[in-house]
Amino acid sequence: MSFARTLTMDLPAGQSAFLWGARQTGKSTFLRERFPAGVHIDLLDFDTRLALSARPSRLGEQLDAAAPEVLAHPVVIDEIQKAPGLLDEVHRLIESRRLSFVLCGSSARKLKRAGVNLLGGRAWRFEMFPLTWREIPDFDLLRALNRGLLPGVYTRPQYRRSLAAYVRDYLTQEVFNEALTRNAAAFTRFFEALRFCHGELLNYAAIARDCGVDAKTVRTYFEILQDTLVGYLIRPFHHRPGRQSISAAPRFYLFDVGVAGHVCRRVLTDAAARSSAGRSSTSSCSRSSPPAATGSSRGPSSSGGPRAGWRWTSC
């Protein structure tokens, strides 16, 4: 199933842009459909990445061979974080040949290091998030809450396996393979600890004790999740001087409700349907009380609790 995304990326002639988003949010598909006539360079291809990383000037040579009508469209470079050194050549081509680029990536951590050229404000910033209800034909809220809104997961019958694979692939590809952390065991324990602190006020010291590391390392782990665009820290408003702050601790939320449900081992079921099918007494999931009324666990009812007939279960 294809989805018509609502993101608008209308670039004036000569304007470049960054498109950021977590893996499998549909960035590459969107760019192929939005700029079908332009040059597309995929840095996931090993040979392409090796050639351009070894000699970035190859990019200019490759574009020299392109027809003028093709270069009238933006040049799309996918997974730009895999070759940060290529940004200097992109900068040169923007200035010398007035070309426009759309640079797509799923991790900004490597690009934040000292010495990486971020084009000095020459590129607009866009972000691709998971699907919204407007983009899904025949939207089903219960299905979305359980499966999440990643395009490649939402439509699959065996979505739980897809979510499990997504989390495993993230741990290996985005963190370990990119050498964002070297302590694989501690980071894995940290990811498991997210089950108990997702959407809650963060206590770095308590999480550090569970992971066997110090609180500073836990803060770094949360920064990694933010930089790889799979989570966000929501900080409280700053209190006015002279007034006591209610809370200074942030809350952490994963970027997709399906990924969060998998990590937290949480499933939302329709109690009425389970009862009519005679499955409530034989379910392999243990029913639990509804979660506290936090920002991530509130149901869609106007009162703030789960919709009538729905139950949170823990599998």
Rounded mean pLDDT, 210-222: 90
pLDDT value at residue 182: 72
The mean pLDDT of the chain is 83
pLDDT value at residue 244: 61
Which residues have CB under 8 Å from 106's CB, separation 6+? 20, 21, 22, 23, 27, 79, 81, 174, 228, 229
> For 40-54, 156-170, 182-196, 291-305, which range has the lowest pLDDT when averaged over its residues?
291-305
Rounded mean pLDDT, 219-224: 89
pLDDT value at residue 266: 87
Asked whether residue 85 carries a pLDDT value surpassing 60, the answer given is yes
Strand order in the sheet with 310-314: 266-270, 310-314, 286-287
Rounded mean pLDDT, 73-96: 94
CATH of domain 16-127: 3.40.50.300
> Can you tell me the distance from the alpha carbon of 125 to that of 16, in angstroms, rounded to the nearest whole number?
9
Question: Would you say the pTM of this structure is higher than 0.95?
Answer: no
pLDDT bin (cut points 50, 70, 90) of residue 284 is: very low
pLDDT bin (cut points 50, 70, 90) of residue 312 is: low
Bridge partners, residue 18, by sequence: 103, 125
pLDDT value at residue 55: 95
Q: Which fold has domain 134-264?
A: Arc Repressor Mutant, subunit A (1.10.10)
pLDDT value at residue 292: 44
> For 152-156, 199-203, 250-254, 311-315, which range has the lowest pLDDT when averaged over its residues?
311-315
pLDDT value at residue 211: 87
Rounded mean pLDDT, 119-135: 92
Domain with CATH 1.10.10 in the chain: 134-264
Q: Is the Cβ–Cβ distance between 5 and 43 less than 8 Å?
A: no
pLDDT value at residue 133: 94
- Higher local confidence (pLDDT), 263 or 297: 263
* Through-space distance between the first and last CA atoms of the chain, rounded to whole angstroms: 29
> Can you tell me the distance from the alpha carbon of 271 to that of 287, in angstroms, rounded to the nearest whole number?
10
Q: Could you read off the pLDDT of 146-203 as tens digits, one per residue?
A: 999 999 999 998 999 999 999 887 766 667 666 567 777 888 888 888 889 999 999 9
Which residues have CB under 8 Å from 215's CB, separation 6+? 204, 205, 207, 208
pLDDT value at residue 183: 78
Collapsing DSSP to helix, strand or coil, 177 comes out as: coil
Q: Report strand pairing: 251-254 vs 266-270.
A: unpaired
Q: Could you read off the pLDDT of 258-276 as tens digits, one per residue?
A: 999 999 988 888 764 455 4
pLDDT value at residue 287: 39
> Can you tell me the distance from the alpha carbon of 39 to that of 63, in angstroms, rounded to the nearest whole number?
8
Rounded mean pLDDT, 72-83: 94
Collapsing DSSP to helix, strand or coil, 114 comes out as: coil
pLDDT bin (cut points 50, 70, 90) of residue 308 is: low
